[in-house]
Structures are given as structure tokens and as C-alpha cells.
Amino acid sequence: MFEFIKNFYNMFPDNKDLFCKPEEYRIEKLKELFGDKVNKIIDFYSKYEPDEIPLLESYVNLLGIDWIIMENTELSPGAFLSKHGFYVFATTVGGNALCINTNEANDGDASVYIADHSRFYYNDETDQAKIMGEEAWIYHELNYDSIVKFSPKIESSFFTFMEKVSRNEYADVEDYLM
């Protein structure tokens, strides 16, 4: 068991249903979505799918597999970011996306970025994202470089992020957007 799993149970001692073991077909859907670069993260979800975890003190909402799939295939900004290797696994109280960056995958793990949902507005007709610059709305092609430029990296490791969030080491992850 990961140490941070124990931390979550200590954080919410009255809730014994924080994590569950998902059905195999749901794990297969997650593998299909994330690809094979982040096998350790997929292995984590195959044993410990977030289930009934309340909103964390850092204003993070960890998503279960069904929500991860929906966020990355149907909702904004995940449906746009996932085309470039950024996959939403959690959201904030303000609706922003916490993503793993599979382009930076290393030994089955990946870095964690935060994407401001109001910064990325996608126009299907022009295949461009409307991205808020420092002074005015400017248009950038939605690609890996523009996502990295406008989405701060929180941690170089998903597992480091999970460990820190389980110990309430982030006051508010949305502070990274300022």
C-alpha cells in the first residue's frame, strides 16, 4: 500500500470508502486513454480508484476512472489537452484541471500540471485555443509548447503530488495559477 493511501484514511477516519478496486474493463479504458507510458499510475488506479474522497483542504477533487474518462474526452479543457498528452485526473474547487503530462513520463510516472479552465478556449473551426495572455486575449495554436507555457508545473511526479496532497502540504493548488 502506498503511504499516501494511509494518509487519506487518517485524514477522513470516518469514511472507509475512500478508494475502491475498479472492474477490469474500466482499467482497460484508462489504459486506452493514458497509453502505455504511465503504467505505474495505471497500476495505482487498478488498486486504489478514488471513490468517495471529499474535497481536500487544498481544494482538490480526486476523480474516479469514469470521471477521468469524461473529463478527457467530453469536457473542457481536458478534451483539448488530452490530444497533447495532458490528462486530467483531478479538478479544483474553481473548475481547473490537474493533469499528468505523459510527454514527460519517466519510469511509469508523470509530472503534474495545473491548467486554468478559463485560459483555454478551443475553436474547432480554426483548430486554435484562445489563451489569456498577460494583458489581453491572444490566440495561440493549441500544442504542447503553448500548454506548457500557460500551465504551471506543480510536481515532477504524480506520486510526489499524491503524497503531498495527502499530507495537506498545498494550501490551495490554485495558487500555482497566480
- Give the per-residue pLDDT at 56: 94
- Give the per-residue pLDDT at 125: 75
pLDDT band at 133 (very low <50, low <70, confident <90, very high): low
DSSP the chain: --HHHHHHHHHSTT-S-SEE---HHHHHHHHHHH-STTHHHHHHHHH-EE-SPPPPTTSEEEPPHHHHHHHHHTSTTHHHHGGGTEEEEEEETTS-EEEEEEEEEETTEEEEEEE-TTTEEEETTTTEEEEE-SSSEEEEE-SHHHHHHHS-EEES-HHHHHHHHHTT--S-GGGGG-
Weakest mean pLDDT among 35-44, 54-63, 132-141, 156-165: 132-141
- Give the per-residue pLDDT at 29: 97
**pLDDT above 70 (res 132):** no
Neighbours of 168 (CB within 10 A): 12
- Average confidence (pLDDT) over 18-43: 96
3-167 CATH choice from 3.40.50.1220, 3.20.20.220, 3.40.1580.10, 1.20.90.10: 3.40.1580.10
**Domain ranges for the chain:** 3-167
CA distances from residue 33 to 8, 11, 71, 82, 112 in whole angstroms, order as listed: 26, 30, 11, 9, 17
pLDDT tens digits for 58-80? 999 999 999 999 999 999 899 98
